[in-house]
Structure formats: structure tokens, C-alpha cells
Amino acid sequence: MTRSATARLQGVWLPLVTPFRDGELDEHSLRRLVRHYATQPVEGLILAATTGEGLTLDGNETERLVSITAETLGSRLPLLLGMSGSNTRKLGAALDETSSWPINGYLIACPYYTRPSQDGLFQHFSTLARDSDKPIVIYNIPYRTGVNMSNDTLLRLASLPRIIGIKDCCAEPGQTFDLLRVRPQGFAVLTGDDAQFYSALAHGADGGILASAHVETGLFARVYNAMLDGNFHRALTLWRELVDLTRLLFAEPSPGPIKHWLWRAGLLDSPEVRLPMTEISAALAARIDGAIACRTSMAA
């Protein structure tokens, strides 16, 4: 995947949850998940990112996660590896260590906690792009990192051949709209804000990296396809069927609600998360169980 081949950096991408059981990586559930989503209308998978609880994985677990997923998938879908950190040199070393892994690129979050200047953000990502032999998608999510990458900085980075797109969670609709107006040709903008998927597509986004698409994957893809066909009314009608779902799956910290749903659906052997994440409340579990029962009865 390069700047000249970003056609696949569009549509619905899935930031895959990482299954755990009894404190360990649940390889059996991982294979089941990957086989399932390989049959769904997603354009690619992202491993060990926020939804995948990547910060709780050690190096061996991350490598095993990638290896099992790639082996199970074959060449059916591209894989991006999620990375984050505030030490540019350490991240550069991680890029070097993973360069031989069976991945197609990286999703790299802005540095968290340190809150660098815009020039610091530019130098951070330009250094990583220089050192990487794979393409990079920037993840701008200021409500987690404490710093918002400006469009000016992003456009400077977009001129670098290894920087091919952005997962946009800036939470500033005006900033996103302006970016979509001025971005260079071939630079992909995917929303990472599930609740804004329809709005982002209506403004010209290329798709979304959507945790909620673990559930009703096909319906999310149908929203995208309707927008791509210019059938905005159809897309809005479909989107109305998903709005409450996105709210439900983010009613408590992600990925707890999603893992509970997947567990109830038989795709995970356990809804287990790792601290500091905790399993969902009994009240939310009851709401999710009710939603599953309702959708099952409607499908029957």
C-alpha cells in the first residue's frame, strides 16, 4: 500500500478487538474473529490500536497477534498495525523491529501527554516517515492525546510520500470540512468518530475506521456504498438504523461494550478486557443483551 495505491484506504475499516481469556491472548477466538470479518464488507483491519487495547500488549503478544491474523487472512485484506507513544526514537526503533512483519502499514497516533508544538508534531511524523519502509496513516485524536494537529501541519505531512492518510477524530467539524476541501489528491481522510460517519461521508470523507462496525458490519458498508453512489436519501435512511447502535456501543469505555456483544454473539469466548479497562456494568450488559435479542427476533 503506497500513496499511488490508496484506493483501498476507503470504505469501512475495522479496528479489531484483541481477545483475552484468563489474562492471556485468546488465539482461538482471534482466529474465529478474523475468519468472520474476512467474509464481511470491510476494506482492511487495524490491529493493536485503541480498540485493540494495544497499550496493554507486550511485544511478543503484538507479534503473535499480527502473525495469527495474517496467517488466517492470507492476502484477503490489508493490515495496519496501531502504534503510539511520545518518544520519537523509540517509535522509530519499533518501526524497524516490525518492518519484516506481515503488515501493510501503520496507524500512528499523535504523541500523547507531552503536548508538543505543531512543529514538534511535524518533526515527529516526518522522522517516522523517513525511517519507515511502509506507509503511515496519522491518527489525530486530541481528546485522548491532549494535542490537536492543525490542518497546516497535516498538509505539510501529506506532501511526504509515506504519509497516505489520516484517521480523523479532531471533534471539530469545521476543521474536518476545511481539510476535505484542501487535501491533496490521493491523501485519504477516514473518520474515526463512529457517530459522525454519515456526516463525514456527506462532507467528502473516504470512509471510516469504525469500532462499531464489529456489529452490523454490512449495514455500515451499505451506508458507505449508498453515499458513493450519490444516493444520499438511501444512505440517511440506513444510517438512522445505526445511530442508536453507535451510542450503545460507546455508552461505557470502549471496547468493553463491543466485547460483550461479540461474546454474546459467540465470536469471543470471553468479554475480558485488561486494566485499566474494566468489563461493562450490569445495566449496560442488560441493554446490550436486549438489543441483541431484538435484532435476532427481527432477523428471524
Is 43 in contact with 219 (CB distance < 8 Å)?
A: no
Is 210 in contact with 12 (CB distance < 8 Å)?
A: yes
Has residue 290 been placed in a domain?
no
Alpha helical stretches, state H, 142-196: 142-145, 151-158, 173-182
pLDDT 10s per residue in the chain (300 long)? 554 444 479 999 999 999 999 999 999 999 999 999 999 999 999 999 999 999 999 999 999 999 999 999 998 999 999 999 999 999 999 999 999 999 999 999 999 999 999 999 999 999 999 999 999 999 999 999 999 999 999 999 999 999 999 999 999 999 999 999 999 999 999 999 999 999 999 999 999 999 999 999 999 999 999 999 999 999 999 999 999 999 999 999 999 999 999 999 999 999 999 999 999 999 999 999 999 998 887 776
Has residue 118 been placed in a domain?
yes
Has residue 270 been placed in a domain?
no
Task: Name the DSSP class of 162.
Answer: T
Q: Domains in the chain: how many in total?
A: 1
Residue closest to 191 by CA, chosen among 207, 177, 178: 207
Please report, for residues 23, 168, 277, the alpha-carbon distance to residue 26 in angstroms, rounded to integers and kept in the order given: 9, 30, 17
Task: Name the DSSP class of 161.
Answer: T
Has residue 288 been placed in a domain?
no
pLDDT of the residue at 1: 58
pLDDT of the residue at 231: 97
Domain range for 137 is 3-231
Has residue 177 been placed in a domain?
yes
pLDDT of the residue at 295: 84
The span from the CA of 61 to the CA of 48, in Å, is 10
Provide the sign of the torsion angle of the four alpha carbons 64, 255, 96, 77, taken in this order: positive
Q: How many CB atoms lie within 10 A of CB 266?
A: 10
pLDDT of the residue at 300: 62
Task: Name the DSSP class of 111.
Answer: P
Has residue 170 been placed in a domain?
yes
Q: Please compute, for residue 260, the number of CA atoms within 13 A of its CA located in the half-sphere on the CB side.
A: 24
Q: Which residues have a catalytic role annotated?
A: 139, 167
* 3-state SS string for 198-253: HHHHHCCCCEEECHHHHCCHHHHHHHHHHHHCCCHHHHHHHHHCCHHHHHHHCCCC
Beta strands in 36-77 (DSSP E): 44-47
The set of residues, in sequence order, having a beta carbon less than 8 Å from that of 84 and lying 6+ positions away, is: 54, 55, 108, 109, 111, 112, 139
Has residue 78 been placed in a domain?
yes
Has residue 139 been placed in a domain?
yes
| Model confidence, pTM | 0.95
Assign residue 183 the CATH number of its domain: 3.20.20.70
pLDDT of the residue at 5: 42
Burial of 124 per CB tally in 10 Å (0-12, 13-18, 19+): buried
pLDDT of the residue at 166: 98
